[in-house]
Amino acid sequence: MENDPNNILDEVTKGEYKYGFYTDIEMETAPKGLSEDTIRFISAKKNEPGWLLEFRLNAYRKWLGMTEPTWAHLHHPPINYQDIIYYAAPKKKKELASLDEVDPELIETFNKLGISLEEQKRLTGVAVDAVIDSVSVKTTFSETLEKQGIIFCSFSEAVQKVPDLVKQYLGTVVPSDDNYFAALNSAVFSDGSFCYIPKGVRCPIELSTYFRINAANTGQFERTLIIGDEGSYVSYMEGCTAPMRDENQLHAAIVEIIALKDAEVKYSTVQNWYPGNKQGEGGIYNFVTKRGICKGNNSKISWTQVETGSAITWKYPSVVLMGDNTVGEFYSVAVTNNYQQADTGSKMIHLGRNSKSTIISKGISAGHSSNSYRGLVKMTKRALNSRNFSQCDSLLLGDKCGAHTFPYIKTENQSSIVEHEATTSKISDDQLFYCNQRGISTESAIGLIVNGYAREVLKQLPMEFAVEAQKLLAISLEGSVG
Amino acid sequence: MLSIKNLRASINGKEILRGINLEIRPGEVHAIMGPNGTGKSTLASVIAGRDIFEVEEGEIIFRGKNLLEMPVEDRSSEGIFLSFQYPVEIPGVSITNFMRTAVNEQRKYHGLDPMPANEFLAKMEEKKRMLDIHAKLANRSVNEGFSGGEKKKNEIFQMAMLEPALAILDETDSGLDIDALKVVANGVNKLRRPDNAFLVITHYQRLLDYIVPDIVHVLFDGRIVRSGGKELAMELEEKGYEWIKAEA
Amino acid sequence: MEGITTNYNTKETLIRLFGENRPEESPAMANLREQAMEVFVQNGFPHTKLEKWRNTDLSRSLNHAYTFPLEPASDGTEPEDIFRCDVPGFNTFMVSLLNGRVTDAGKNLPQAADGVIVCSMAEAFEKHTDLIERHYAKYAGSGDNAMIALNTAFARDGVFIFVPDNVEVTEIVQTVNLIHSSEPVFVQPRNLVIMGRNSSLRLVMCDDSVDNNVGFINSVSEFVLAENARLDHYKLQNKNDHSALINNSAFHLEAGANLSTSAISLNGGLIRNETQVLLNGRGSHADVLGAYLMDRHQHIDNQVFIDHAVSDCTSNELFKGILDDSASGVFNGHILVRKDAQRTNAYQNNKNILISDKAVIDTKPFLEIYADDVKCSHGATVGQLDAEAMFYLRSRGISASNARMLLMYAFVAEIVNRISIPELRGRIDDLVKKRLRGELSVCDQCVLHCNSREQKIAFEIDMSKI
């Protein structure tokens, strides 16, 4: 992609958060607050089997006994969990038979987001599952995929269509009491995406989910489950936006990935939730648990994330390397500006022999923001001859922000090698002068240098995402250097 | 083209340039020579607009415009190019990307639309061919891991791409072996036109064997103490700078 | 309350002891002790539920029927009878502590005439009240640190050093901290080093065991370096496998001060070094170095906190260690660069080699940065001896076991070579070689070598020939 002239960084577009509009759609919501009744309401709405309701209620009871984690380098006022609407869905008049029947307002919303569902379908060959507030509204391309035995649909649909698969894997990577936010999600998750790639199938197109929070006072709790059966391959993308609102909104999602023998799953995220305004008011609280397990030998899971949004990001996409010769990767760019706070990183738990993991994290902080890398690399006794390499760099723009690195390394065998490197730097005056001398304005120069700094990660993204991510980086940092 | 009058500049309160006067006309090649620490690189930086230097007095008029009032990037778009003595590394930014940004920002300054990608790439190819630069250079990050020679060639390549009216070569010969020096000098000679000009800053006469100057200036202690034809460079080479110091 | 549970209510014993043994002293000092005791009572002994103690478990070390000697022993044992420092050509001004009390009080440094004071803390509490008042317990904050608090509550003695402005102490000062008792003792020495402007001092602090008995040392040392003072500081730790050593060192540096501190840990049942450095004046610099060689069931824990409070300071942190058998290691480095600490240059690295599948290392090199014009980097590695280097050495005819030893030696040499006192460097170099050969143990001084492990390699490697 580097040689493709069309991918040369376009001129940085001006503008603040451009996805901050609100769509007026008739909504169906649950009453505010959380109780067993709320959970029964959600479960009934979705016509769920009894075991799933039990799963939810179990999680809820565990959650009641848990406390919010405080170890992250984050500060926020307490979240009132009774002041949140746990279910909000565009009101369906009847079952949708085709795209023509989708609420035109909704189609308009996705057009504004640059993901015209119909366009996507025709032009790019990307299958899209769009989730608005809590409910999946449209999945494109599913018929094409079905021919290959690939199941790509909303989570609720999967519960109806393939309940055994869901039951077999749900909560096996992220147990319902894994952590406070995971327990909350397990209790109230509303919808999300489900994906199953059968044995030996290479998914021919990128699968993509677009998440959007629209309604006010709403939390979004989606749940994604991806299963790569033996010898399969899939590349999966996730994008997210939210309207600009003065109050904070909670987003607590779970993503579980299972890679069986010889399978490869690549998961890419461009997270662009509303970050709040310049004074730090509003924005999404993003507490997300993402974890994959390389269950079978020779399997591979790769996380790539570009984090530019959210007022608070608490997120540690992880890989449990259970099989022998498995590979885990984590590539991350996290940008924080104004009063954003991010505490993000990865965990690589090596259980299998000859397992390999790579962590490349590029933090960029500006304004009054705080940006922390937190990661764990663990080599267990059994993980002989395993390797990890971690590189965690921080770039500081301005002297009011913070950039922190908290790596945890634990090694319990003598044949594994763990290497961690980190540097902290700023954009040098020499670099800016050099760019200026070639006629490049300071703003553009920062965009250029930051993209260069993040290139190692950006080049991991699928093409569709890479260009968007590059622009996003430059926009997120606008006005950060005076 | 360029007219500098009584230019005084200082850094951290220490005066480096003590009244420079210089006139450069289109088509001319000027050389500035002088011992280390006399202000040669400072002069180049002040023309380009480096803000660590304080201009105390004087003016720099370039094609009718007052350069001292302009930010660095505008001076560049007006046609000033500085080939750096120590080009900085910019990790992760490919030369293609870097040049494309520069070319299009300069075009924007002049009210032109961005150059179409294919046209831009064709131009890169053409300039690379002209300067004997291997194709691989263009996909590497700006100056990152370049040898001294590669960095200087890259500067000349950028000069070819941006087609400045006035190119200032700040000690472009330093750290070059004779072959790299020839490549650099050939590049400069190929780019000479009746409507552009060069200001070549050098410590040694060697470079001037390949880039023949019309006028040679000797800078000493922040002032131009002597100007003359190319034979002045030969004289300096023979007699050394002690001769100038004694005179000054 | 969570905490350590032992069969011997150690905490309750300490609380009772505190009430029964109040020394006669100023109200300020009494107050200080009381406040510190409160912190200890609140927190108790640190336990593994605490983030900072997650990987160091004191419960086994505390599970003994300790006595807490607060007064000097009266059996007349002289350290010279049981211990001899045998660094050839290493002439130092030695202060010995036996079970936490200075034994040879009254000796005078030749430079006493210049105003240099080296004496027991007990003496300083009485004679140098103004200095004590100004500096004592000012740098090692007991805030939530229960071990420092416990020491502050009970401290009776230790080493006191005062170097006036512009005085360069020519003699190397050495402290030797010994435990010798037939029953398990818990001692809490307290040291204070005050250095005036432009002064300099070389200080070697040794912790040794002379027998194989159980002992617990909870030591706190405070160092304050005024403008442009220079301190060259070494900790040598060679303790038996039944000992626990908690070593808190707090360094306070004013502008232009220069600190080099190295912790060389050769043996010890459980060693925890907590080092905090406050760079409080512009242009101050700290080198914080460490080397550890642990085997059997030994445990080493190095906690380093470097606080860049002001601009233009530099710090350089390097810890290297080798862990064999079932040894466990912890490194927790934390560099804090405060908001206005521009032009900070901070480097932190922890390198480990594991040579057994039962050895465990936890390393956490943290950076917390609030200023933008900084150069900070950190790294941590865990690995093995370089296979290529091993092959190279063996291809030259060196046996595998010797090649291994040679590479381990080379690995640690990076730290040893930075010791600036030649005699000490030579001695430590020698100790490291001995340690690697398995010869060095607590019984090094004893011909029976009853506790030493089997000697695997019987000949000396001539390093100069490699």
Task: Identify the pLDDT of residue A302.
Answer: 96
Q: What angle do CA A265, A270, A273 make, to 5 degrees?
A: 135
Q: Is residue A461 part of a domain?
A: no
Burial (0-12, 13-18, 19+ Cβ within 10 Å), B109: middle
User: What is the per-residue pLDDT across C257-273, written as a single tens digit (0 to 9) for each?
Assistant: 999 999 999 888 999 99
Task: Identify the pLDDT of residue A201.
Answer: 94
Task: Identify the pLDDT of residue C460.
Answer: 39
Cβ of residue C71 closer than 8 Å to a chain A Cβ: no
Task: Identify the pLDDT of residue A211.
Answer: 67
pLDDT band at A425 (very low <50, low <70, confident <90, very high): confident
CB contact under 8 A, B117 and A454: no
Instruction: Name which residue leads in pLDDT, C460 or B178.
Output: B178
Nearest Cβ partner for A452 among B88, B93, B114: B93
pLDDT band at B83 (very low <50, low <70, confident <90, very high): very high
Task: Identify the pLDDT of residue A213.
Answer: 61
Q: Is residue A309 part of a domain?
A: yes
Task: Identify the pLDDT of residue B8.
Answer: 94
CB contact under 8 A, B90 and A444: no
Average pLDDT over residues A252-278: 90
Cβ of residue A304 closer than 8 Å to a chain B Cβ: no
In terms of Cα–Cα distance, which of C243, C239, C236 is closest to C427?
Answer: C236
Task: Identify the pLDDT of residue A244.
Answer: 60
| Structural contact between residues C322 and C351, judged by C-beta atoms closer than 8 angstroms | no
Q: Which of A6-15, A121-130, A449-458, C341-350 has the lowest mean pLDDT?
A: A6-15
Task: Identify the pLDDT of residue C168.
Answer: 95
**Residue C439 clears pLDDT 50, i.e. is over it:** yes
> Collapsing DSSP states into helix, strand and coil, what is residue A39?
helix
Task: Identify the pLDDT of residue A393.
Answer: 93
Q: For residue C321, list its beta bridge partners.
A: C292, C352
Cβ of residue C359 closer than 8 Å to a chain A Cβ: yes
C and A touching (3 or more beta-carbon pairs closer than 8 Å): yes
| Structural contact between residues B79 and B62, judged by C-beta atoms closer than 8 angstroms | yes
In the block, tokens 């093995």 appear at: C384
Token pair listed for A373: 């890398």
| Structural contact between residues A371 and A394, judged by C-beta atoms closer than 8 angstroms | yes
First to last CA, chain B: 29
Provide the 10 A C-beta neighbour count for residue A433.
Answer: 22
- CA pair distance C174, A396, nearest whole angstrom: 45
DSSP assignment of C8-28 equals T-HHHHHHHHHHH---S--HH
pLDDT band at A140 (very low <50, low <70, confident <90, very high): low
Average pLDDT over residues C141-162: 91
- Chain A hits for B84, Cβ within 8 Å: 434, 437
Percent of chain B at pLDDT exceeding 90? 38
DSSP assignment of A197-254 equals E-TT-B-SS-EEEEEE--STTB-B--EEEEEE-TT-EEEEEEEEE----SSEEEE--E
pLDDT band at A135 (very low <50, low <70, confident <90, very high): low
| Structural contact between residues B56 and B15, judged by C-beta atoms closer than 8 angstroms | yes
In terms of Cα–Cα distance, which of A238, A131, A239, A137 is closest to A189?
Answer: A131
Distances (CA, A) of A123 to A62, A118, A127, A128: 46, 9, 11, 12
C127: left (phi over 0), alpha (psi -120 to 50) or beta: alpha
Token pair listed for A190: 């509303």
pLDDT band at C81 (very low <50, low <70, confident <90, very high): low
Cβ of residue A441 closer than 8 Å to a chain B Cβ: yes
User: What is the per-residue pLDDT across A204-219, written as a single tens digit (0 to 9) for each?
Assistant: 888 877 766 655 666 7
* Shortest Cα distance, chain A CAs vs residue B62, angstroms: 15
**Residue C109 clears pLDDT 70, i.e. is over it:** yes
> Collapsing DSSP states into helix, strand and coil, what is residue A407?
strand
**Residue A263 clears pLDDT 80, i.e. is over it:** yes
Going from N- to C-terminal start, the domains of chain B cover 2-247
In terms of Cα–Cα distance, which of B193, B198, B215, B205 is closest to B241?
Answer: B205
pLDDT band at A1 (very low <50, low <70, confident <90, very high): very low
* Shortest Cα distance, chain B CAs vs residue A376, angstroms: 27
Q: Is residue A50 part of a domain?
A: yes
Task: Identify the pLDDT of residue B181.
Answer: 86
pLDDT band at C451 (very low <50, low <70, confident <90, very high): very low
**Residue A167 clears pLDDT 90, i.e. is over it:** yes
- CA pair distance A79, A287, nearest whole angstrom: 12
Token pair listed for C203: 């200080």
Average pLDDT over residues A135-139: 56
- CA pair distance C309, C315, nearest whole angstrom: 12
The alpha carbon of B81 is separated from its chain's Cα centroid by a whole number of angstroms, namely 6
Q: How many residues does chain A have?
A: 482
* Shortest Cα distance, chain B CAs vs residue A10, angstroms: 8
* Shortest Cα distance, chain C CAs vs residue A342, angstroms: 14
Helix axes A442-453, A463-476, angle to 10 degrees: 130
Token pair listed for B92: 């992760």
**Run of H or E residues at B151:** helix B148-162
Task: Identify the pLDDT of residue C1.
Answer: 40
Nearest Cβ partner for C365 among A71, A384, A407: A407
The ipTM is 0.81
**How many secondary structure helices (H) and strands (E) does chain C include?**
10, 20
Cβ of residue C342 closer than 8 Å to a chain A Cβ: yes
Average pLDDT for chain B = 88
Token pair listed for A194: 């489900």
Contact partners, residue A279, CB within 8 Å, separation at least 6? A338, A339
Burial (0-12, 13-18, 19+ Cβ within 10 Å), C401: exposed
Task: Identify the pLDDT of residue A90.
Answer: 62
Task: Identify the pLDDT of residue C458.
Answer: 30
Average pLDDT over residues B138-167: 86
Type of residue found at A30: A
**Run of H or E residues at A167:** helix A163-169
**Residue C443 clears pLDDT 60, i.e. is over it:** no
| Structural contact between residues C196 and C226, judged by C-beta atoms closer than 8 angstroms | yes
Instruction: Name which residue leads in pLDDT, B188 or C441.
Output: B188
A436: nearest CA partner in chain B:
B73
pLDDT band at A9 (very low <50, low <70, confident <90, very high): very low
Nearest Cβ partner for B158 among A438, A448, A449: A438
- CA pair distance C26, C42, nearest whole angstrom: 24
- Chain A hits for C361, Cβ within 8 Å: 409-411
- CA pair distance B65, B45, nearest whole angstrom: 18
Average pLDDT over residues B9-18: 91
Cβ of residue C391 closer than 8 Å to a chain A Cβ: no
User: What is the per-residue pLDDT across A328-383, written as a single tens digit (0 to 9) for each?
Assistant: 999 999 989 889 999 999 999 999 999 999 999 999 998 899 999 999 999 999 99
Task: Count Cα atoms within 13 angstroms, Cβ side, for A338.
Answer: 22
Instruction: Name which residue leads in pLDDT, A88 or A111.
Output: A88
Instruction: Name which residue leads in pLDDT, A226 or C103.
Output: A226
In terms of Cα–Cα distance, which of C324, C272, C314, C289 is closest to C437?
Answer: C324
Cβ of residue A422 closer than 8 Å to a chain C Cβ: yes
As for how many domains chain A has, the answer is 1
Contact partners, residue A464, CB within 8 Å, separation at least 6? A124, A126, A206, A208, A237
Task: Identify the pLDDT of residue B183.
Answer: 82
Task: Identify the pLDDT of residue C150.
Answer: 95
Q: In CATH, what number does B2-247 get?
A: 3.40.50.300
Task: Identify the pLDDT of residue A95.
Answer: 43
**Strand A402-411 relative to strand A370-379, pairing:** parallel
- CA pair distance A359, C366, nearest whole angstrom: 16
CB contact under 8 A, B102 and A438: yes
Average pLDDT over residues C84-100: 74
User: What is the per-residue pLDDT across C37-67, written as a single tens digit (0 to 9) for each?
Assistant: 999 999 999 999 898 999 999 999 998 889 8
Contact partners, residue C165, CB within 8 Å, separation at least 6? C196, C197, C198, C199, C226
Going from N- to C-terminal start, the domains of chain C cover 10-281, 388-466
Q: Is residue A345 part of a domain?
A: no
According to DSSP, residue C244 is labeled: E
Task: Identify the pLDDT of residue A103.
Answer: 58
Considering A453-467, C210-224, C276-290, C412-426, the range whose residues carry the highest mean pLDDT is: C276-290
A423: nearest CA partner in chain C:
C377
Average pLDDT over residues A162-184: 94
Task: Identify the pLDDT of residue C142.
Answer: 65
Cβ of residue A175 closer than 8 Å to a chain B Cβ: no
Task: Identify the pLDDT of residue B200.
Answer: 93
**Strand B80-83 relative to strand B166-170, pairing:** parallel
**Residue A408 clears pLDDT 90, i.e. is over it:** yes
Task: Identify the pLDDT of residue A45.
Answer: 85
Average pLDDT over residues C166-191: 91
Nearest Cβ partner for B139 among A2, A440, A456: A2
CB contact under 8 A, A409 and C384: no
Cα-Cα-Cα-Cα torsion C29, C34, C35, C39, nearest 10 degrees, comes to 140
Q: Which of A384-388, C143-147, C358-362 has the lowest mean pLDDT?
A: C143-147
Q: Is residue A446 part of a domain?
A: no
Contact partners, residue B39, CB within 8 Å, separation at least 6? B16, B17, B20, B219, B221, B222
**Strand A283-294 relative to strand A254-259, pairing:** parallel
CB contact under 8 A, A452 and B105: no
| Structural contact between residues A207 and A127, judged by C-beta atoms closer than 8 angstroms | yes
Task: Identify the pLDDT of residue C75.
Answer: 60
pLDDT band at C465 (very low <50, low <70, confident <90, very high): very low
What subunits make at least 3 CB pairs under 8 angstroms with A?
B, C
According to DSSP, residue B58 is labeled: E
Task: Identify the pLDDT of residue A356.
Answer: 97
**Residue A6 clears pLDDT 90, i.e. is over it:** no
- CA pair distance A188, A133, nearest whole angstrom: 13
Nearest Cβ partner for A439 among B88, B96, B102: B102
- CA pair distance C379, C384, nearest whole angstrom: 16
pLDDT band at C235 (very low <50, low <70, confident <90, very high): very high
Residues 63-102 of B with CB under 8 A from A: 71-73, 75-77, 80-82, 84, 87-88, 90-94, 96-102
Q: For residue C92, list its beta bridge partners.
A: C172
* Shortest Cα distance, chain A CAs vs residue C333, angstroms: 10
Task: Identify the pLDDT of residue B29.
Answer: 93
A406: nearest CA partner in chain C:
C366
**Residue A4 clears pLDDT 70, i.e. is over it:** no
Contact partners, residue A50, CB within 8 Å, separation at least 6? none
Task: Identify the pLDDT of residue A346.
Answer: 96
Burial (0-12, 13-18, 19+ Cβ within 10 Å), A385: middle
Cβ of residue A405 closer than 8 Å to a chain C Cβ: yes
Token pair listed for C258: 């220069």
Cβ of residue B158 closer than 8 Å to a chain A Cβ: yes
Q: What is the pTM of this model?
A: 0.82
**Residue C359 clears pLDDT 60, i.e. is over it:** yes
> Collapsing DSSP states into helix, strand and coil, what is residue A435?
helix
First to last CA, chain A: 33
Cα-Cα-Cα-Cα torsion C412, C413, C416, C421, nearest 10 degrees, comes to 170
Token pair listed for A268: 């890419």
Instruction: Name which residue leads in pLDDT, A36 or C105.
Output: A36
**Residue B11 clears pLDDT 60, i.e. is over it:** yes
Nearest Cβ partner for B117 among A8, A431, A456: A8
CB contact under 8 A, A411 and C354: yes
Percent of chain A at pLDDT exceeding 90? 45
Task: Identify the pLDDT of residue A224.
Answer: 92
Q: What angle do CA B98, B101, B106 make, to 5 degrees?
A: 125
Task: Identify the pLDDT of residue B239.
Answer: 81
Average pLDDT over residues C145-160: 94
pLDDT band at A456 (very low <50, low <70, confident <90, very high): confident
**Run of H or E residues at A57:** helix A50-64
A417: nearest CA partner in chain C:
C383
- Chain A hits for B93, Cβ within 8 Å: 448-449, 451-452, 455
